[in-house]
């Protein structure tokens, strides 16, 4: 059983469409991060959320941390081909000093 479940696993959409990907758990996290990993590269941090209910916006990307700090979502508005990549969420628990990663959502935006 994965600590963090991401859905969908794969997503292929047309340029200009909106999409939401999810990161769910039964555990509570003190903070949660979202990364994007492009082919042939390592993950790059997009955002860190730390407060339940927190919403952060990064241009066309909107990140939300659930009120109970067990889940998170990433919404992309008007997707562009440059958004293509593997989106990973990672959560830090209240004890320990480690981030636990989800399996990722592979997004393809078709021009």
Partner 1 sequence: ETGVTQTPRHLVMGMTNKKSLKCEQHLGHNAMYWYKQSAKKPLELMFVYNFKEQTENNSVPSRFSPECPNSSHLFLHLHTLQPEDSALYLCASSLYRLVSYEQYFGPGTRLTVT
Q: Which DSSP letter does residue 9 get?
A: S
Displacement of CA 75 from its chain's centroid (Å)? 9
Question: Do residues 6 and 74 make contact, with C-beta atoms less than 8 angstroms apart?
Answer: no
Using the rule CB under 8 A, which residue among 15, 16, 45, 68 binds partner 1? 45
Report if residue 12 touches partner 1, rule: CB under 8 A.
no
Site string for partner 1, 53-92 (x = CB under 8 A): -----------------------------------x-x-x
Cα–Cα distance for residue pair 74/97, rounded to 1 Å:
24
Q: State both tokens at 53.
A: 């209910």
Instruction: Rule CB under 8 A: say whether 98 interacts with partner 1.
Output: yes
- List of residues contacting partner 1 (CB under 8 A): 2-4, 30-31, 40-45, 48, 88, 90, 92, 97-104
């Amino acid at each position: 059983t994965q600590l963090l479940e991401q859905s969908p696993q794969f997503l292929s959409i047309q340029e200009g469409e909106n999409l939401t990907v999810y990161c769910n758990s039964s555990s509570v996290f003190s903070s949660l991060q979202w990364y994007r990993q492009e082919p042939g590269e390592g993950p790059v941090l997009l955002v860190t959320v730390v407060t339940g209910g927190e919403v952060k916006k990064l241009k066309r990307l909107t990140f939300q941390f659930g009120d109970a700090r067990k889940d998170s979502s990433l919404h992309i508005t008007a997707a562009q081909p440059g958004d293509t990549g593997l989106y990973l969420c990672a959560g830090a628990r209240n004890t320990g000093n480690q981030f636990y990663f989800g399996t990722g959502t592979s997004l393809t935006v078709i021009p």
